[in-house]
Structure 1
Amino acid sequence: MVEIPTTSPTRICLVRHGETEWNAARRIQGQIDIGLNETGLTQAEAAGRWLKGAGIVALYSSDLKRAWTTAQTIGAALALVPRPVPEMRERRYGVFEGLTYDEAKARHPDGYAAFEGRNADYDFEDGESLKAMFARVTGKLQAIATAHPGQNVVVVVHGGVLDIINRFVRGNSLEMLRDFLIPNAGINWIATADGRWALESWGETGHLEAGALDELPS
């Protein structure tokens, strides 16, 4: 028997920021404040056009430049001003930040093995563990949902944040390998009602030209 929600769902559209030059180079950004490249700006504009008519009442964003610029561009299309949510920043990658994935693997082989193996306690030597990131991201996600009962909102975030949220909504562990895409400027819909979360759609790229990057490891 299918349970019917007793309240209207709150629907949250999660948008990954547009492409940056560091995405294209597979360089780990973390909380280093890198801006969008030309492709990324075009992607942000396309996301804004796509979301017109979606009944969006509020717009939130990580305050890092690549997300914030994406949100401002989407906001211009939706006539909304983004609200900063630092809790939705990308993961802090500690000694990995600024390195390409290949450089990180060569310089920090033990740490990279822990990262690649999704060790949920590994924190990149003064970075952030998956467990710590899970707590900050899901806490803010639930606060946003509580603030907008029965409404549709947009949150512009980062690849690592989307990785956390997908697992949270589906009830999957932090340690399992990723089985979903996280393309730049991809659109992802989740919903919550009566304390339950559901994934409606994931990794939509119909609004983008072919080739949106998913440069993240599994």
Structure 2
Amino acid sequence: MPITRICLVRHGETAWNADKRIQGQIDVGLNAAGLAQAEAAANWLSGQAVVALYSSNLLRARQTAECIAASLHLIPTFRPEFRERRYGLFESLTYDESRARYPAEYRLFEGRDPDFVIPYGGESLRQLHERVSTGLLRVAADHRGQTIVVVTHGGVLDVVNRLVRGNPLSSPRDFLIPNAGINWISVADDRWGLESWGDTGHLTVVGLDELP
């Protein structure tokens, strides 16, 4: 059966990552370290037989994807289904500020209640999972038996890892999601597999994992 391989790349570092500030769907560009990480990921991927490049349309992902596109000689396709989770009232706050200002809401967020919709325009983990899995199945179906790259975000990768391993959304995180980390998954007949996760060997300075 044809196996579709998907390389998922988290965007490079931003100043808000360094500050542990929740970006969500606020557009924040890469900092100098993030641009260097994006170039490093692009150089590493240049030897891969990639036929298509997809990305979130948020600025930090777009900038990362544009570096990879130049290396692979591809034109990126921007898809909103690969955007970061909408964090509602937490967006623009640090994790510590979110916990202090909204303790009840933060407990539900930190406890990974799959159906907790973050107030003021946020998403639940289940809503995010549905959005992301639909997007992944769509690109996999469009490139059956081929290799593609998707540039995305930490919250998206958080649910992807659980999707491919068959773990519940509520389970504690037991894996890393570094900035500009390389993650390989595969799918055949709607059955997902995990090949490798959180690789940072291409980076001079290991990317941040500031997520809770």
Task: Tell me the TM-score normalized by structure 2.
Answer: 0.98
Aligned length: 211
Correspondence for 2:156 = 161
Query: Aligned to 2:175, which of 165, 172, 180?
Result: 180
The runs of at least 4 aligned residues of structure 1 exceeding 2 Å deviation read none
Query: Aligned to 1:102, which of 85, 96, 105?
Result: 96
- Aligned identity (percent) is 63
Shift of 1:57: 0.5
Correspondence for 1:59 = 53
Matches within 5 A, 1:139-218: 139-217=134-212
Distance 1:32 1:62 in 2: 12
Query: Aligned to 1:88, which of 82, 100, 105?
Result: 82
Q: Partner of 1:56: helix, strand, or coil? A: coil
In the alignment, residue 63 of structure 1 is paired with which amino acid?
Answer: N
Correspondence for 2:22 = 28
Distance 1:125 1:194 in 2: 37
Shift of 1:211: 3.2
Distance 1:114 1:38 in 2: 34
Q: Partner of 1:198: helix, strand, or coil? A: strand
Shift of 1:193: 1.3
Q: Partner of 1:216: helix, strand, or coil? A: coil
Distance 1:210 1:125 in 2: 36
Q: Which digits, 9 at most, give the CA deviation of each residue in 1:177-213, with x for residues without a partner? A: 0000000000000001132110000000000023310
Shift of 1:120: 1.0
Structure 1 vs Structure 2 CA RMSD: 0.7
Correspondence for 1:19 = 13
Flag structure 1 segments of 5+ consecutive residues without an equivalent. Answer: 1-6
Q: Partner of 1:192: helix, strand, or coil? A: strand
Distance 2:13 2:27 in 1: 13
In the alignment, residue 153 of structure 2 is paired with which amino acid?
Answer: H
Correspondence for 1:4 = none
Q: Which digits, 9 at most, give the CA deviation of each residue in 1:103-125, with x for residues without a partner? A: 00000000010011001111221
Flag structure 2 segments of 5+ consecutive residues without an equivalent. Answer: none
In the alignment, residue 26 of structure 1 is paired with which amino acid?
Answer: K
